[in-house]
Amino acid sequence: MSKVRVNSFSVSLDGYAAGPNQSVQNPLGIRGPELFQWFFSTRTWKYMQGQEGGSSGVDNQWAERGMENIGAWILGRNMFGPVRGPWPDESWKGWWGDEPPYHVPTFVLTHHPRQPLEMKGGTTFHFVTDGIDAALQRARDAAGDKDVRIGGGTATIQQYLRARRIDELHLAVRPLLLGSGENLFAGLDLPALGYRCTEHAPTDSALHILLKKET
């Protein structure tokens, strides 16, 4: 049976998944890239960038798991880009250049309509204006028997957690403190929502935790 998953989602020890003051120059916020140092060193990341090398240990194993069996993605608008309000035009096509890393239909939550955007490598961005459940249904339809991966950002994952739509959540907890930014756990009672830790694995770079929703 297909699942709704969050994978390779990095958080600091104090729960922040992005730093403060996000901008075009700092899409992950101040110090945000530090959260993903465990991922940037992996063979999976290097391959995504068209490069060779990278680590092949436990961090890479979790990164690989996150890329398996994905038939569609869901992104919040901030994950797609820094543009706010109505789209002034269609010149912004994402952070990733002509060939984004998704390679499957990708559904972007927004309040403002926009025509689908077809990119190289199999990614087509679809802009969904009628909420998280509508986006999830469209993603499920597109994914077929494969899983739907929710890429973030923080507010989007919180919405799906509160609605108990996420089946599995893989967190990579980095050994650092950010102090401010976007806190994944703010206002969430994960045990009350039915989530339990079912797997954990420490590395030099992160503590990998898998949370699953009880049926």
Average of per-residue pLDDT values in the chain: 95
**CA atoms 114, 124, 147, 28: torsion sign:** negative
Tell whether 166 is covered by a domain.
yes
Is the confidence at residue 215, as pLDDT, over 90?
A: no
Q: Residue 34: pLDDT band by 50, 70, 90 thresholds?
A: very high
At 2 the pLDDT is 92
Convert the pLDDT of each residue in 60-95 to its tens digit. 999 999 999 999 999 999 899 888 899 999 999 998
C-beta atoms surrounding 199 within 10 Å:
12
Tell whether 93 is covered by a domain.
no
Tell whether 90 is covered by a domain.
no
Tell whether 122 is covered by a domain.
yes
Q: Residue 124: pLDDT band by 50, 70, 90 thresholds?
A: very high
Number of domains in the chain: 1
Is the confidence at residue 213, as pLDDT, over 90?
A: yes
- 180 with 30: CB under 8 angstroms? no
At 103 the pLDDT is 95
Tell whether 92 is covered by a domain.
no
User: What does the alpha-carbon distance between residue 159 and residue 31 come to, in Å, rounded to a whole number?
Assistant: 24
Tell whether 13 is covered by a domain.
yes
At 113 the pLDDT is 96
At 51 the pLDDT is 86
At 50 the pLDDT is 81
Q: Which range marks the domain in which residue 33 is found?
A: 4-18+27-84+98-213
With b for 16 or more beta-carbon neighbours within 10 A and e for fewer, the 129-161 pattern comes to: eeebeebbebbbebbeebbbbbbbbbebbbbbb
Tell whether 89 is covered by a domain.
no
At 10 the pLDDT is 97
At 129 the pLDDT is 98
User: What does the alpha-carbon distance between residue 112 and residue 199 come to, in Å, rounded to a whole number?
Assistant: 39
Q: Residue 137: pLDDT band by 50, 70, 90 thresholds?
A: very high
Convert the pLDDT of each residue in 159-200 to its tens digit. 999 999 999 999 999 999 999 999 999 999 999 999 999 999
Tell me the CATH number at 34.
3.40.430.10
Tell whether 149 is covered by a domain.
yes
